[in-house]
Chain A
């Protein structure tokens, strides 16, 4: 087993475990922490896929930004870090069956498709290539995204403002 395979299995196990913890733990606050762990694990997966730039983005935006926002939201809606922070689940069996069915479906398709083959070698650092692609062929999309972010910002402000 190569080092790459070993690290993949380790990271995969961590990712699945922390994901399950996110959806299963009764404590909402803990769930958020597990989510942060899962996001970091995902970032490591990116690293395994030779994308250090995306790893950085993942850490900064997701693990940093999103988790912080969620924690704020929990603080605002649950008032006290106490009994009420516990959350419950509904129809666990139904959900499990449907989710499993979806997984089996996707996996079923996966094994039917010839996807094998070695990973091609990289020409070098991909980050400059991403940068050029962003302002080259995807420049218009990037601008649209900027607009979307502004709109989302305004929308979030509007929804969250107090009524006075």
Chain B
């Protein structure tokens, strides 16, 4: 094993070691903050190592045989280090580290054992996500894919005493499983057609045009289904807003920056394979753009700050998917990385607000800028980045996405994305104006969050700005679209900001009247009901699953049990009848023997002939 493989192995191994230590050494876990220190230490060292891997920049693979089979192992485990995975390593370890530090303050009031449990899950999640990113084959990726799903379930349900959190955890688990079903079937079908799970082997075949197999479109569609579930694409996006029942740092890490981008990562990773099936790519692009628009419209009417951010995440994931579908994998991953930074910033900022105000409802916040100016500034930085204003990171990645979609000649998805850009600026500044500048006064005595929370915020904000500047200076990239694109997207963002300002700050436009005019009123009606999708799934679940269960229950209770009860009752009765034969007197039995002998006589004499 050369040195180049040791560093990524270290990145992967440290969180796992932390998880093992916390899981096995119960006293340490129950100590709470000490457990946090272990987990944070592991994440910090892993981050440094990840930075080293990233700077090194070399492509490396290392595999070890795993599932033995005739003629070489059927599957391997290993590491695949390339620019894509090393960038993801840096993002995952960074956000993971910051979120864990932040959680020390955010969850400071938790009981120590619960806090230890939280950090155990966090370490497991970091390990799983890193393993997913480093996977050199579909099988390993699927294993870690399910592991992150498990961690997501555990962390959403962290406050499992709350029924809503438990329900949300189960919902997230099942809905992502729906997509995973397609994923695993697709992997197995792909293996059946090609005989390998390895990315490298598959890509080589794809380049040599040796992958013209029957039904590749179906296979890639099934694999894409996994990404639909994980990355909350329409129509499986419903679990992500509910996942906000988890602690806010969890939402920042798992449901904004890392896990939900796994689907985008999958599409980017398997880009050479998807490139062979343009139909599936087009579908990905359309679904992505539609998801972006749909989620943005729902974010406009949402009053819960975390759910606004959740819908915004769904929307931005749609952006990434649209770019991937347009063949602009670079733009997709770039947006993934920048979005990971500023969305984590936004979530952590929102967490700081929630921490001091004690509510998620933006209409019960107000004037917060005056009492917590630092958080306000940081939140606005994140918002500007999300809205896509230069020179922040979001501007460049969003523009790259739009350029990619435009160049792929996907006009309608492009228009949807452009409209989404406008809506994004609008709904984000709606939150900013209402929560930070609104006239309503927040309850209690809001104050600046502790440094443990503000530190990660500052770091993320600075990184958002720096990455933006870096991208701006690197400028002359081949991925720039037509010249009018940059000004147009800035104009769209500014328009959204202006509308939000006019509506919620100046009061020039009455939001109620705006929502009341005809085409918007219909949209408002639908968006407030989440386009009926949740109700639809609920109905399907109730009507179908519960109905079926009731049928099964009836069969069990009345048919199966009935037959058994009938049998047992009659066995008892028959036994009661027959037991009288057993007199217990030996001579009566001798009579029985004698009668048997006589019967034998009769049989031998007459019946046998």
Contact = CB atoms under 8 A, between A and B. Distances in A.
Interface string A88-129: 001000100011011001001100000000000000000000
A109 B601 contact: yes
A149 B303 CA distance: 98
Nearest to A112: B605
A108 B604 CA distance: 12
A108 B96 CA distance: 101
Contacts of A105: 597-598, 601
A108 B605 contact: yes
Interface string B574-587: 00000000000001
Contacts of B545: none
B605 A102 contact: no
Interface string B243-254: 000000000000
A102 B598 CA distance: 7
A102 B500 CA distance: 113
A17 B356 CA distance: 117
B605 A98 contact: no
Interface string A70-91: 0000000000000000000010
B598 A101 contact: yes
A90 B601 CA distance: 26
A109 B598 CA distance: 12
Contacts of A108: 601, 605
A128 to B, nearest CB: 38
B594 to A, nearest CB: 5
Contacts of B591: 94, 98
Contacts of B604: 109
Nearest to B597: A102
B601 A98 contact: no
A29 to B, nearest CB: 22
A105 B587 CA distance: 21
Nearest to B587: A90
Contacts of B605: 108-109
| B interface, size bucket | under 10
B350 to A, nearest CB: 87
B586 to A, nearest CB: 12
Nearest to A99: B594
A99 B595 CA distance: 10
A102 B605 CA distance: 14
Nearest to A90: B587
Nearest to B585: A90
Contacts of A90: 587
| A interface, size bucket | under 10
A108 B605 CA distance: 9
A59 B594 CA distance: 30
Contacts of A102: 594, 597-598
A27 B538 CA distance: 92
Interface string A6-39: 0000000000000000000000000000000000
A106 to B, nearest CB: 8
Interface string B382-421: 0000000000000000000000000000000000000000
A102 B597 CA distance: 8
Interface string B308-342: 00000000000000000000000000000000000
Nearest to B605: A108
A64 to B, nearest CB: 28
A86 B560 CA distance: 62
A105 B604 CA distance: 11
A101 B591 CA distance: 12
Interface in B194-243: none
B187 to A, nearest CB: 69
Nearest to B604: A109
A101 B601 CA distance: 10
A108 B601 CA distance: 9
Contacts of A98: 591, 594-595, 598
A94 B590 CA distance: 12
Contacts of B597: 102, 105
A109 B597 CA distance: 13
A39 to B, nearest CB: 22
Contacts of B587: 90
A120 to B, nearest CB: 29
B607 to A, nearest CB: 14
B16 to A, nearest CB: 68
Contacts of B594: 98-99, 101-102
Contacts of B601: 105, 108-109
A108 to B, nearest CB: 7
Contacts of A101: 594, 598
A152 B601 CA distance: 34
A108 B594 CA distance: 16
A56 B604 CA distance: 38
Contacts of A94: 591
Contacts of B598: 98, 101-102, 105
A121 B594 CA distance: 38
A158 to B, nearest CB: 21
Interface in B445-486: none
B588 to A, nearest CB: 10
Nearest to A98: B594
A74 to B, nearest CB: 19
A160 B597 CA distance: 34
B28 to A, nearest CB: 65
The interface centre, meaning the residue of B587, B591, B595, B601 with most chain A CB atoms within 10 A of its CB, is: B601
Interface string A133-149: 00000000000000000
Contacts of A109: 601, 604-605
Nearest to B595: A98
A145 B114 CA distance: 77
Nearest to A105: B601
B602 to A, nearest CB: 8
A136 B601 CA distance: 37
Counting from the closest, the 8 A-B pairs by CB-CB distance are: A105-B601, A98-B594, A101-B598, A102-B594, A105-B598, A102-B597, A98-B591, A102-B598
20 contacts: A90-B587, A94-B591, A98-B591, A98-B594, A98-B595, A98-B598, A99-B594, A101-B594, A101-B598, A102-B594, A102-B597, A102-B598, A105-B597, A105-B598, A105-B601, A108-B601, A108-B605, A109-B601, A109-B604, A109-B605
Given A108-B601, A109-B604, 7 more contacts: A94-B591, A98-B595, A102-B594, A102-B598, A105-B601, A109-B601, A109-B605
Interface of A: 90, 94, 98-99, 101-102, 105, 108-109
